[in-house]
Amino acid sequence: MKATGEYSLSRLQTLFDRVKEESEKFGCGKVKLDLIEVAGTIPVLDMLVLGEHCAHIWKQPFRIAILSPDGGLDKFFEDVAWNRGVRVAVVPNEAAASDWLK
């Protein structure tokens, strides 16, 4: 899946909900989400909120690799989600995403 546009907390939360819906609809437990073209900086507090949101919707055995640019999601978001049981990796490129999902 790929997203574009300007960053907003509510849009990203809605996107995460949609990722879950679509993955369940197609029976896919591994997802690659490309946020490279999402413009704007994500505040640290938003990363905490997003990591907690993910924990409510993305359950095991669901796995997701998120491609994110500088200023986007980072290790803090990943740690928040992992600490709540979500298997997620924030990666810099397509190859890293594919490797992590294997």
C-alpha–C-alpha distance, residues 62 and 44, integer Å: 24
* Domain encompassing residue 89: 2-101
| Residue 44 near residue 70, CB atoms below 8 Å | no
| Mean pLDDT, the chain, whole residue set | 94
**Tell me: the pLDDT tens digits for 56-99?**
998 778 899 999 998 899 999 999 999 999 999 999 999 999 99
Assign residue 31 the CATH number of its domain. Answer: 3.30.750
Residue with tokens 């594919």: 98
Residue with tokens 């989600």: 81
Q: Taking residues 11-39, what's their average pLDDT? A: 94
The count of domains in the chain is 1
| Residue 90 near residue 68, CB atoms below 8 Å | yes
C-alpha–C-alpha distance, residues 97 and 32, integer Å: 7
